[in-house]
Structure 1
Amino acid sequence: MLPIEDKYILLLAPKGEEIKIIESHGYKSILLSNDVTFKDKLKYDVTFKINLNSYNEVIQLIKNIKEKYDIKSAFTLNEYRVELMAIINGIIGNKNTLSIKGSGICRNKSLQRKYIANKFNPWFELINLTSDEIIDHYPVILKPLNDADSNNVYKCNNVTEFNQALENIRINCKNHIGITIGEHILVEEYLEGDEYSAEIVVQENILRFVSFTKKILPNNNHLYEIGHISNHQFSEKETQEIIDCLNEIIKLIDLDNAVIHIEFKYKDSFKLIEINCRPGGDKIVDLVYLSFGIDLNEISFRLISGLDLPYNWSGLTSKKQFAINFFYVEKDLITKDYPNIPENLKSEIIEINKTNKLNKNFKKTISNYNRYGYIISNYNEENQEKIRNLTLIGG
């Protein structure tokens, strides 16, 4: 597409997909990032190296440059920067943005619990990281208030595991972008049953349901994901019940003009895990595209920029399912080859990604940040089991 004369999209610590999307629409780019490389200067039209954790610095920069550059919108798919995106869109007068309130709540698990009250929440409480408070019922989940990608999330079956997890979190006292996790930590009831996410689009206060994703978790106390299955089918009654809960949640939190990823458990009733006002990570966007032919990242940009959505929502009737299974290890391995794919499974596989190119120094997987690639495939139960067994390296 030909460039839109002097119209810029401001990108906040982008994950990579953002620049492709805005260039496909003909916009110029402004990069804001903690670190700007030589390659970044070649890729983006304008670059600013700035501490994104300092909102005051960023706000002052935006006020200084918004008269020089015609900025249509701020955009990011980076979960940690969505609240800052909403703030910047407010400063530049973009009326299509999601609310600062809603994006802020999505970045803080304690605020999510507060606004949802007890209706959809599991039992929970906040404890001080430095306290010796005793929890008298197990199992429980221990998690920071402002981290992501299952980082520092533990299932604790007894007081010994609880104390060890608490100590690990004290040692790793900053989240993935270097912000301290705060004085308190969330302790909540461990819910039995399978875990899911809902991929939804909210536009002008109307919820458009896209898909359910079933999550596959390992059989250990680190609650990272080892796989996802797209387009999970609940019964018609269960689907309506869950969508009614989702509608109530987005109104309570004031979420609009965004792609929303809500994680939950369902066993007889809906229980909330967490809310994110961005498309699902872990290649869930790719799985949704394979099932329905719609791009949730593209939709996210269109919503924030006030562009039309070229989709027939009533036509999302596909039953096609796809799966992603992540390579992971359950113990440190000095050297180990990735498993070979049997001939009878190769026709089912769509994409393989191996991130440890040297096959050396595999560290035990404890979060989504240290898995070792993935396999995306067609889904059926028989082949799914075989493919999943391949992704446990050294298993």
Structure 2
Amino acid sequence: MSALLIIQPVSAGLGLVEAALRQGLRPVVLSFEQEDRTVPASMIEDDAVEVYQVDTNDRAAVIAAAERLAESHDISGVVPGFEYFVPVAAEVAARLGLPGLPPEVAKRVRDKTLMRQALEAAGLAIPQFRVARSGAEVEAAAEEIGYPVVIKPPRAAGSVHVSRVERAEDLRAAYDLLCSETDLDLGNDLGQEVLVESYLDGPEYSAEGYVVGGVATVVSITEKLLSDPPSFVELGHTVPADLPAARLGELADWAATVAEALGVDNALFHLEFRICAGKPFVIELGARMPGDQIANLVALSTGVSLAEVFIQIVTGARSSGNRGLDVDFARTAAIRFFRDPQLDVVTRVPEIAQLRAGKNVENAGLTASVGDRPNSHSDFRSRLGWVVLTASDRLSLEDAWAEVGGKAQFG
């Protein structure tokens, strides 16, 4: 049986394991199997999935393990299971002679500084930006750009320590807080380098798509619901965005241009952007599965499985699609996250069965437990739970959210 090599599947990347099985491939997984880099036991209990332990943050170790596996397995494709592993997956695919994201492009889309430079050279709209590596450099960059500014680590994920700063007297505190973060994300720290950017004042969206043979195909324009500044916690996503069909098509064509300008090929892409004064500005692009169950929403709305598309691409089984928007939205799908910025300690959580019984509810889950202090972080870790909804139209979906939201009582 042909095998699909998956490097450290986490979160949305776990869907690649299930999709490989559906497509008759044997998932072969490289995983650290410690701390927050593990494969759920339920996923490997029937021996349908092979897991090999390796430090997935060690590039040389991953490449060596992949080359050893290629001697004993018929590996037909390589995919990254999370944002951090996009570059090493690209390099492994290239070494094994398999379709994949070009390694030089993988580095470009993983580092927001390199990404900004490439987009600027292509003449695409981006925020003003400066790179800073000290408190003094951060302050100088902000003065040059003008307040408000956004500061962010250039190689992190999940909007961790991305914040808007309104005035000079608050800037050093925001930078010091970022530099003092002790929690590692999949074994990665944030470092001292940051991007200082001009604030984009407008609604946020994402484009989900893929590129094969240099042709960028878009399967969703997704609308985002964000918390109030200074942080940017994602509180929900809706597929499709509540925009006229012609506008969705225009944005999809623009998203295709962005992916092509960055050189993305043989990969999925998740492009985040804001619209300011009617014009889209790039925030960032990831060449991997989108997080926050966006792939699930796309499947519920359009029937397109991004995980299966990704696997078909890296195994050479997918030909190029039509450029731009190439999908029909059969219904509206959304995820909404529960959050309470005033909550100090979780003292009670709602019954999952009660949430799942709500009108138009596809599924629901909790991410907080009694005793947690969710607001000790100002990012996705402050979320308490989630619910996925579907409806025939946007108004019905919002009514369903209002109903289930009233049942989600956290104390």
- Which residue is equivalent to 1:190? 199
Residues 1:386 and 2:396 are matched in the alignment: no
Deviation for aligned residue 1:241: 3.9
**Cα distance, 1:224–1:48 mapped onto 2, change above 3 Å:** same
Stretch moving more, 174-183 or 55-64 = 174-183
- Which residue is equivalent to 2:384? 372
Stretch moving more, 132-141 or 295-304 = 132-141
Residues 1:296 and 2:291 are matched in the alignment: no
Give the alignment partner of residue 257 of structure 2, picking from 241, 245, 248. Answer: 248
Does the Cα contact within 8 Å between 2:163 and 2:229 map onto a contact in 1?
Answer: no
1:194 and 1:98 map into 2 onto residues whose CA distance is 30
Q: Normalising by structure 1, what TM-score?
A: 0.88
Deviation for aligned residue 1:258: 1.6
Stretch moving more, 179-188 or 266-275 = 179-188
Give the alignment partner of residue 53 of structure 1, picking from 53, 57, 78. Answer: 57
**Cα distance, 1:35–1:122 mapped onto 2, change above 3 Å:** same
- Alignment coverage as a number of residue pairs: 387
**Cα distance, 1:384–1:264 mapped onto 2, change above 3 Å:** farther
**Cα distance, 1:290–1:133 mapped onto 2, change above 3 Å:** closer
Residues 1:285 and 2:288 are matched in the alignment: no
Does the Cα contact within 8 Å between 1:52 and 1:58 map onto a contact in 2?
Answer: yes
SS of the counterpart of 2:388? strand
1:340 and 1:52 map into 2 onto residues whose CA distance is 37
- Which residue is equivalent to 1:352? 364
- Provide, for residues 182-241 of structure 1, a one-character-per-residue CA deviation record: whole Å limited to 9, x for no partner: 442001111111100011121111121211111001123111101111111434554454
Deviation for aligned residue 1:56: 1.6
2:273 and 2:400 map into 1 onto residues whose CA distance is 23
Residues 1:11 and 2:6 are matched in the alignment: yes
2:350 and 2:93 map into 1 onto residues whose CA distance is 47
Does the Cα contact within 8 Å between 2:358 and 2:404 map onto a contact in 1?
Answer: no
1:156 and 1:127 map into 2 onto residues whose CA distance is 15
Residues 1:171 and 2:180 are matched in the alignment: yes
- Which residue is equivalent to 1:30? 28
1:311 and 1:362 map into 2 onto residues whose CA distance is 46
Deviation for aligned residue 1:90: 0.9
Does the Cα contact within 8 Å between 1:329 and 1:362 map onto a contact in 2?
Answer: no
Deviation for aligned residue 1:389: 5.2
RMSD: 3.0
Code of the aligned partner of 1:369:
R
More helix by share: 2
1:111 and 1:123 map into 2 onto residues whose CA distance is 14
2:126 and 2:320 map into 1 onto residues whose CA distance is 35
Does the Cα contact within 8 Å between 1:349 and 1:377 map onto a contact in 2?
Answer: yes
SS of the counterpart of 2:67? helix
Give the alignment partner of residue 76 of structure 1, picking from 70, 75, 80. Answer: 80
**Cα distance, 1:93–1:174 mapped onto 2, change above 3 Å:** farther
Residue ranges of structure 1 left out of the alignment (5+ in a row): none
1:203 and 1:211 map into 2 onto residues whose CA distance is 17
Give the alignment partner of residue 97 of structure 1, picking from 81, 100, 110. Answer: 100
Deviation for aligned residue 1:174: 6.9
Code of the aligned partner of 1:25:
Q
Code of the aligned partner of 1:115:
A
**Cα distance, 1:311–1:238 mapped onto 2, change above 3 Å:** closer
Residue ranges of structure 2 left out of the alignment (5+ in a row): none
Code of the aligned partner of 1:114:
Q
**Cα distance, 1:220–1:246 mapped onto 2, change above 3 Å:** closer
Deviation for aligned residue 1:309: 6.8
Question: Within 5 Å, which residues of 2 pair with 1:228-267?
Answer: 228-235=237-244, 238-267=247-276
Residues 1:121 and 2:119 are matched in the alignment: no
**Cα distance, 1:351–1:62 mapped onto 2, change above 3 Å:** closer
Does the Cα contact within 8 Å between 1:152 and 1:169 map onto a contact in 2?
Answer: yes
Deviation for aligned residue 1:360: 3.0
Code of the aligned partner of 1:215:
K
Code of the aligned partner of 2:132:
I
Does the Cα contact within 8 Å between 1:174 and 1:181 map onto a contact in 2?
Answer: no
1:170 and 1:318 map into 2 onto residues whose CA distance is 43
- Which residue is equivalent to 2:19? 21
2:194 and 2:233 map into 1 onto residues whose CA distance is 18
Deviation for aligned residue 1:305: 1.1
1:14 and 1:385 map into 2 onto residues whose CA distance is 30
SS of the counterpart of 1:256? coil
Deviation for aligned residue 1:31: 2.0
- Provide, for residues 65-96 of structure 1, a one-character-per-residue CA deviation record: whole Å limited to 9, x for no partner: 422322222223311112111111111110x2
Residues 1:320 and 2:331 are matched in the alignment: yes
Code of the aligned partner of 1:378:
T
Question: Within 5 Å, which residues of 2 pair with 1:100-179?
Answer: 100-117=103-120, 119-131=124-136, 133-134=138-139, 135-136=142-143, 137-172=146-181, 176-179=185-188
**Cα distance, 1:222–1:133 mapped onto 2, change above 3 Å:** closer
Deviation for aligned residue 1:257: 1.6
1:46 and 1:378 map into 2 onto residues whose CA distance is 35
Deviation for aligned residue 1:29: 3.1
Percent identical across equivalent pairs? 23
**Cα distance, 1:102–1:152 mapped onto 2, change above 3 Å:** same
SS of the counterpart of 1:334? coil
Deviation for aligned residue 1:306: 1.2
- Provide, for residues 256-291 of structure 1, a one-character-per-residue CA deviation record: whole Å limited to 9, x for no partner: 122211000113111011001113210111111111
**Cα distance, 1:160–1:261 mapped onto 2, change above 3 Å:** same
Does the Cα contact within 8 Å between 2:221 and 2:252 map onto a contact in 1?
Answer: no
**Cα distance, 1:79–1:259 mapped onto 2, change above 3 Å:** same
